[in-house]
Homo-oligomer: A and B are copies of this chain.
Amino acid sequence: MAVRDALLRSPLFQDAPTRILDFAVRAVVERTYEAHEAIVTQDTQGEALYFLQEGRARVLRESATGRERIVGFLYSGDVFGEGAALGGPGRGATVVAETTVRALVMYRSELSTLFERHPKMLWNLARLLARRVDALNEELIAMSLDSEASMAHLLLKVYRQRGAAGEGDAAFLPLTSPDLTACLGTSRETTARTLKKFTSRKLVKVEGGGLRLLDVDGIERTLYDND
């Protein structure tokens, strides 16, 4: 994807005038990361903002108590690294490439210049963060329900994200059993038991390297029924 088109996909550049886009196209650096390579590492210094152009990455966070959890996935069009780029104390999470990832990297000095020249971009960034706060609050509620509701919430979240990113086969989720466990923060046994229930109800099917959603409406009903 051309750099300009990749930037235009990001909500950050919504309604940005041509001169701002021109500046941004010149200001970003294109980087490629191989699968399993860390793009940013939690608690390290870092001042760049990333636009994921192609590929897929996972976001891992280790809590203060040393427990690791997958807190999300990133797809084409997603922005990350904003906390540190905004002058936070350090990276809030680790981002690891799951496939070959192409990203556009914008360093803080260029980002500051962009924000100065076009403050609307800061407004867009704040909106994006406010939506993320909403989504996390929703997730906290879902996670406090039973394990079936938590699983249903996770599957629907990743499915919708893949759809929004324009992934060709959105109903195939590249989530293995260990991934599900690391996302849900449950035990392996609980994950296996819940997955078995979903399989026997023909909501999902295990396929090489992931899960295929067979019945999205049924998964949605599970979320509501178990409330």
* A interface residue numbers (CB < 8 A to B): 61, 63-67, 69, 71, 82-83, 86-88, 92-93, 115-116, 119, 122-123, 125-127, 129-134, 136-145, 149, 184-186, 223-224, 227
Contacts and interface: CB of A to CB of B under 8 A. Distances in A.
Report the copy number of this chain in the oligomer. 2
Contacts of A227: 63, 65-67
Contacts of A129: 126, 129-130, 132-133
User: Chain A's interface: helix, strand, loop or mixed, by majority?
Assistant: helix
A143 B141 contact: no
A40 to B, nearest CB: 14
Given A122-B122, A145-B185, A83 B131 contact: yes
Given A65-B142, A88-B134, A93-B137, 12 more contacts: A61-B137, A65-B224, A69-B140, A69-B144, A71-B140, A71-B141, A83-B133, A87-B127, A122-B126, A126-B126, A129-B132, A139-B140
